[in-house]
Amino acid sequence: MLRKVLPVAGAVATALLALAQGLTPLAVAGLALGAWVLLLAVTLIRYPPGGAARQEQEGEVTKASERLPPSDHVGIDALPDPALVVLGSWRAVAANPQARQLFGPRVGSADVRQSVRHPAVLDAIRSAMAGDSPAIREVGALGHADGAFRVRAVALGDGRHLVTFTDITQARVAERMRADFVANASHELRTPLANISGFIETLLGPAAEDEPARRRFLEIMARESGRMSRLIDDLLSLSRIELDKYVRPQAPLDLPPLLADVGKTLAMRLEADGRRLLIEVADGLPQVIGDRDQILQVLHNLVSNSLKYGHSGTPIRLSAALVAGSARMDEMVRVSVEDAGDGIAPEHLPRLTERFYRVDTGRSRSMGGTGLGLAIVKHIVERHRGRLEITSRQGEGTTVSFTLPVVPKRIEPAEPEAAASPSAVAPAQPARLELRREP
Ligand SMILES: Nc1ncnc2c1ncn2[C@@H]1O[C@H](COP(=O)(O)OP(=O)(O)O)[C@@H](O)[C@H]1O
Ligand SMILES: [Mg+2]
**Measuring CA to CA, how many Å separate 265 from each of 232, 297, 299, 348, 435?**
21, 11, 11, 29, 11
Q: Name 123's Cβ contacts closer than 8 Å, sequence gap at least 6.
A: 135, 137
Percent of the chain with pLDDT over 90: 64
CA–centroid distance, 304 to ligand 2, in Å, is 6
Q: Are residues 150 and 162 in the same domain?
A: yes
**Helix/strand/coil for 24:** coil
Q: Are residues 159 and 303 in the same domain?
A: no
Give the number of the atom of ligand 1 that is nearest the alpha carbon of residue 306: 1
Q: Name 84's Cβ contacts closer than 8 Å, sequence gap at least 6.
A: 92, 94, 95, 99, 107, 108, 112, 116, 162, 163
Average pLDDT over residues 325-335: 83
Nearest ligand, CA 391: 1
Distance, CA of 339 to CA of 334 (rounded, Å):
16
Q: Are residues 207 and 322 in the same domain?
A: no
Q: Which range, of 72-81, 144-153, 218-227, averages the lowest pLDDT?
A: 72-81
Does residue 238 form part of some domain? no
Q: Are residues 257 and 349 in the same domain?
A: yes
pLDDT at 425 over 50: no
Query: Side-chain half-sphere of 427: how many Cα atoms within 13 Å?
Result: 25
Average pLDDT over residues 260-269: 95
The residue type found at 385 is: R
The model's pTM: 0.68
pLDDT at 360 over 60: yes
pLDDT at position 164 is 96
pLDDT in tens, 71-80: 555 588 899 9
Distance, CA of 110 to CA of 63 (rounded, Å):
13
CA–centroid distance, 376 to ligand 1, in Å, is 12
Q: Are residues 227 and 272 in the same domain?
A: no
Look up the domain containing 395 and give its range.
Answer: 249-434
Bridge partners (DSSP) of residue 167 are 149
pLDDT in tens, 130-142: 988 899 999 988 8
SS3 content of the chain, % helix, strand, coil (to 5): 50, 20, 30
Domain boundary among 119, 135, 167: 167
pLDDT at 436 over 50: no
pLDDT at 429 over 50: no
Please tell me the residue having the least CA distance from ligand 1 atom 13: 358
CA–centroid distance, 362 to ligand 2, in Å, is 13
Please tell me the residue having the least CA distance from ligand 1 atom 24: 358
pLDDT band at 267 (very low <50, low <70, confident <90, very high): very high
pLDDT at 114 over 60: yes
Q: Are residues 77 and 28 in the same domain?
A: no
pLDDT at position 36 is 52
Residues whose beta carbon lies within 6 Å of some atom of ligand 1: 301, 305-306, 308-309, 339, 341, 344, 352, 358-360, 364, 369-375, 398
pLDDT at position 68 is 53
Average pLDDT over residues 63-68: 47
Give the number of the atom of ligand 1 that is nearest the alpha carbon of residue 375: 17
Give the number of the atom of ligand 1 that is nearest the alpha carbon of residue 376: 17
**Measuring CA to CA, how many Å separate 68 from each of 40, 58, 94?**
23, 17, 8
**Considering only CA atoms, which of 424, 421, 422, 420 is closest in space to residue 408?**
424
**Considering only CA atoms, which of 436, 112, 405 is closest in space to residue 267?**
436
pLDDT band at 193 (very low <50, low <70, confident <90, very high): very high
| 387 close to 403: Cβ distance less than 8 angstroms | yes
> Domain of 66: which CATH number?
3.30.450.20
Identify which has the larger pLDDT, 210 or 419.
210
Q: Are residues 97 and 222 in the same domain?
A: no
pLDDT at 25 over 70: no
User: What does the mean pLDDT of the chain come to?
Assistant: 82
Q: To test the ligand 1 pocket, which listed residue (309, 311, 314, 355) has its Cβ within 8 A of the most ligand atoms?
A: 309
Identify which has the larger pLDDT, 368 or 426.
368
CA–centroid distance, 233 to ligand 1, in Å, is 18
CA–centroid distance, 373 to ligand 1, in Å, is 8
CA–centroid distance, 395 to ligand 2, in Å, is 19
Q: Are residues 218 and 289 in the same domain?
A: no
CA–centroid distance, 369 to ligand 2, in Å, is 6
Does residue 359 form part of some domain? yes
The residue type found at 314 is: T
Give the number of the atom of ligand 1 that is nearest the alpha carbon of residue 364: 23
**Considering only CA atoms, which of 314, 270, 304, 313 is closest in space to residue 400?**
304
Give the chain's length: 439
pLDDT in tens, 387-415: 999 999 999 999 999 999 999 876 555 55
Average pLDDT over residues 5-17: 44
Q: To test the ligand 1 pocket, which listed residue (374, 378, 399, 401) has its Cβ within 8 A of the most ligand atoms?
A: 374
Q: Name 121's Cβ contacts closer than 8 Å, sequence gap at least 6.
A: 112, 137, 139, 142, 151, 153, 163, 165
DSSP letter for 111, please: B
Q: Are residues 57 and 126 in the same domain?
A: yes
Nearest ligand, CA 349: 1
**Measuring CA to CA, how many Å separate 116 from each of 89, 93, 166, 375?**
15, 14, 15, 42
Domain boundary among 119, 134, 167: 167
Query: Side-chain half-sphere of 353: how many Cα atoms within 13 Å?
Result: 17
Query: Side-chain half-sphere of 344: how many Cα atoms within 13 Å?
Result: 22
Q: Are residues 328 and 373 in the same domain?
A: yes
pLDDT at 53 over 50: no
Dihedral (C-alpha) 242, 246, 247, 248: value to the nearest 10 degrees?
Answer: 110
Q: Are residues 221 and 290 in the same domain?
A: no
pLDDT at 150 over 80: yes
